[in-house]
């Protein structure tokens, strides 16, 4: 089965700017532990929308859609309740001050297996899904997968003296 999926992470859910080097999804207890996907791609970009529209490219801020991972085939194997981590081919700089984070995943087919991820109720339609290559989605969802952004946070440089003084 082919798929094109998009989800928006609100900027208030990310505490600081981050150089995203990998992304992790939490696998549920359902489905198969392994699968092989073809033409598997992950895109990241910025969005000014809190609720996604049904046209994939319209959900991005212009010029921000970036291909961060591509593999064919993409073989995964993960146990129940474990994190599936994908190291990006191209790290993505995300700053909450610019906007929400849009994550898009797509693949043309899978050879075997269906790996399911845990989801939570996001309240509003913050995800859409459609056929691979289709410009529009066939469904919207108010549930989002449990994801973790991994990378280097943009922290303020501090001297040891200023850190010590903050505890007095």
Stretch 40-50: mean pLDDT: 98
**Per-residue confidence (pLDDT) for residue 116, from 0 to 100:** 86
Q: Is the pLDDT confidence value at 102 over 70?
A: yes
Q: Is the pLDDT confidence value at 131 over 90?
A: yes
List the one residue out of 139, 120, 128, 112 whose CA is nearest residue 37.
Answer: 112
Q: Is the pLDDT confidence value at 158 over 70?
A: no
The side-by-side arrangement of strands in the sheet containing 40-47 is 66-71, 40-47, 100-107, 3-9, 127-130, 139-141
Q: Is the pLDDT confidence value at 114 over 80?
A: no
Stretch 75-82: mean pLDDT: 92
**Per-residue confidence (pLDDT) for residue 164, from 0 to 100:** 52
Q: Band of the pLDDT at 111, cuts 50, 70, 90? A: confident
Highest mean pLDDT among 1-5, 15-19, 86-90: 86-90
Q: Domains for the chain: give ranges and CATH numbers.
A: 3-165 (2.60.120)
Paired tokens of 98: 């610019």
In the chain, % of residues over pLDDT 90: 80
Mean pLDDT for the chain overall: 91
């Amino acid at each position: 089965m082919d798929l094109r999926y998009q989800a928006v992470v609100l900027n208030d859910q990310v505490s600081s700017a981050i150089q995203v080097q990998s992304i992790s999804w939490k696998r549920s207890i359902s489905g198969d532990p392994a699968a092989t996907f073809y033409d598997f791609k992950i895109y990241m970009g910025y969005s000014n929308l809190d609720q996604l529209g049904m046209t994939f490219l319209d959900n991005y801020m212009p010029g921000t859609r970036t291909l961060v991972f591509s593999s064919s085939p993409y073989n995964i194997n993960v146990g129940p309740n474990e994190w599936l981590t994908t190291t990006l081919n191209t790290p993505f700089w995300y700053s909450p001050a610019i906007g929400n984070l849009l994550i898009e995943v797509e693949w043309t087919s899978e050879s075997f297996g269906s790996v399911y991820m845990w989801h939570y109720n996001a309240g509003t339609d913050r995800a859409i899904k459609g056929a691979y290559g289709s410009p529009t989605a066939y469904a919207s969802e108010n549930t989002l997968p449990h994801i973790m952004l991994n990378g280097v946070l943009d922290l303020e440089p501090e001297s040891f003296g200023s850190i010590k003084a903050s505890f007095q």
